[in-house]
A and B are shown apart, each in its own frame.
Chain A
Amino acid sequence: MSLLAALTRAYDRLPDAPPYGFSTEKIGFCVVLETDGRVAEVIDLRGDDKKRSPRMLLVPQAVKRTAGIAPNFLWDKSAYVLGVTAGEGKRTAEEHAKFREKHLDWLADTTDPGLLALCRFLESWDPASFAAPQWQDEARDQNLVFRLSGEFTFLHDRPAARTLWREIGAEGASDPQICLVTCTPGPVARLHPSIKGVWGAQSSGASLISFNLDAFTSYGHDQGDNAPVSEAAAFAYTTALNRFLEKDSGHRIQIGDASTVFWADAPDDAAEEAENLFSAFFDPAGDEKLAAAKIKDKLDAIRSGTRLTEVAPNLAQGVRFHVLGLAPNAARLSVRFYWTSDFGTLTAHYQRYLQDTEVQPPPRDGWPPLWRYLIELAVQGKRENVPPLIAGEWMRAILTGAPYPLTLLSTTLMRLRADGEVSPLRAAILKSILIRNFKSKEAPVALDPANTNKGYMLGRLFAVYEEVQRAALGGNVNATIKDKFYGAASATPQKVYRTLDAGAQNHFSKLRKQSPGRAVNLEKLLTAITDLMEPGNDPYPASLTAAEQALFGLGYYHQRSDFFRKHDDKTPEVTE
């Protein structure tokens, strides 16, 4: 099933989906009209909260405004409805004129008293009469709707308005063609409704399907005719997608620059449970949230490697799961990844990802969310510096169980060379790439003293040199050998190891005077590592491959954490 078809199906499952041709919009005020078009009163519809957030009302679907002036049907912002804005508004007068003209045109044949009242109002309205006490200043730039005095339904909810809207709604569509989503003939959407809420895209919304430059068009087709999607299908997929992209919809997580939405095709309870589990997989929520969703035990069981058929048999079979990653590119949206399969497969792939990234000692807070890993790849650890594409590619690889993108390795190595910070997260990334892409059996979870891979041994050796320096000179060295040599040692060992060795001898001679026991211990460790090296096999090669550099990082991480662990073991003895 294609992406659009899946979203169209998801629309049918939405619990309170707006009907075709309508959308939920933020409305601030309601203008109450007398039948002769005079304004009876203006009602504030906004909530009581601090931000006075506007009420979400179901109104005729907003038109797509780009550069042109186009009014909405029976509602709009104050510039269109009244010709009034808070700012300068160069085209306010034009916008209001258009609103008036269009509505008088649309409503020309109506006999409905409510719609006639609007006609009278538009004919007689003068923007200058926008004044207190009737009009509050806060109504500027809010969206306005209308109501007839003495009645409770809004003008756009009147049956006459709804009938009229159905006729108007079909105006913009082009000739009937076969729809590539539903495969039934119907009027084709020229411009698709905007998708809002994608991180980094324009706040007014961006398009998933658009043909805004002529290099994108084929066979002389214009706009939506390039990919015939019926009005109904276009409405359905955008409504579903917009709903999923809303904040706190329970259907979205942010992974790098990819706004990721997910949904399940299943009976309601199972779907919700699967969605909760998925969001906890990649963006662990607080304990309360997990408890509220009643998934804590199941999540723990899945993380410890129990098969889904045992944890939640209802999810293992027949729950189709969809994951879609969207990222902005110029004014368009681009699909970073779209994955669909059943939830059992997804869980198995997630467990494999956990297994691959396992390192000893583990990161401090257990199950770091994916974005924490991604930040390790960003310059200065800033979220906006995460290299684009990597997040999406990586996520795709995790979901499909495929090899990881090799750019992940090169980026991690580049960050390591730049700042030399071998964090548990970076070690985990290195290890998982070694296992997945290089089928490396030499990438151990914890310190492996018998490992004879060159990269791994050199990494350990480097950690020992650093420890010797620390033992001799204390922790307050301005630039340690790690700061100075990590990059060179991991990439071109031959150039630096002789220098390091010479330096270490000086440190040893100092250390022997201060604490001879520690010097002996470190020297033993050093020989234990160098004994593993075979002189014939060139222990200090001119360069290391990317995979060996990854093992270097892992070896360094293991050996160095080992010092800290031993250190921890000793402290109680001292205090006794």
Chain B
Amino acid sequence: MTKLLASIGIAALATVSLAACASDPSDTKTSGGALTVKATDSQCTVSGTKLKAGPSTFKVTNAGSKVTEFYVYADGDRIMGEVENVGPGLTRNLIVDLPKGTYEGACKPGMIGDGIRQTLTVTGEAAAPLSDSEELTAAATSYERYVKSQSDTLIVKTTEFVDAVKAGNVDEAKKLFPIARTYWERIEPVAEKFGDLDPITDGREPDAKAEGVDFTGWHRIEKQLWVENNTEGMDPYADQLLSNVKKIVALGQDAPLTALELAQGSKGLLDEVATGKITGEEDEFSHTDLWDFKANIEGSQAAISALRPVLVEQDPALVKDLDAKFAAVDTELNQYQDKTTGDWTFYDKLTDQQIKQLSDAVAALSEPISKVAAVVAQSA
């Protein structure tokens, strides 16, 4: 936790330092978070020469008649950053991350010579790590409750599935497979924290082959059920599956996700959809991908709900966008659920056009979701 917070502190600082450049004209004479560099054929004017440590943006405008370039040099003309090929009348940006020290900015009209130089002084240090906010703690606690409720049912449903497999009840096992997995898929970011348990529980056959290890877990049993239509030899796999699911649940409760992990998890679940479910690769034998798809979306939504108070405060527009995009995914997805049985359409029955539309909806949601972690990091 402490380590994580330290890096969040740096994240916050970086943002702050850019904002500071913009809001402190007496110090840096900049506007809009950037320094301007006006380059003519004979002059090079930088809008501010005293900078704060961290990334600075130089907007280099060529007001001359020759193609120019702009360099930031450290001692001994070590190049910290450069932007070339700035045509007359154009502006190109140079973003350069400068530690405390003294530098020189140089315009080179005609792209030749030592350039017209100006001294730049960079001051400041990294701020001390900030403390975690109460809201983030509350978000993590709220998600912990969700994980608890899902994992209790996961153990119940996995037990039922394993019992059916061991009883040789193929039809029942096939029915329970996607249902038990629903609880698994909703809290997958928890499982993924435990590197060695995830692959033996949810790994795919080609990966097991490549690693030279036994193919085990959910998908090993899935293959037997759908390809061989029996449960022969599955007892040890079934026992191992239940035992590993229980281990993951216990470990997850001992080490709950932090708010930041939870934000990253909400994105991770959508990445799962985009790479595994949209392609029909995850449940290649049973084609029950849409059960997993829905569960991933629900899990992602649960993570966002837990973070909601933080997000509403920090970035209400993002929350509005997320709500609209989650709703659009639901509309797209829910048309493939049988309202009576609750069953989903099998992946191999979807047309290319339908898959494209699902993919578009997930992509539309994934973009705003990818912005959540930064908001959480900022509010630490």
Q: Do A and B come from one complex?
A: no
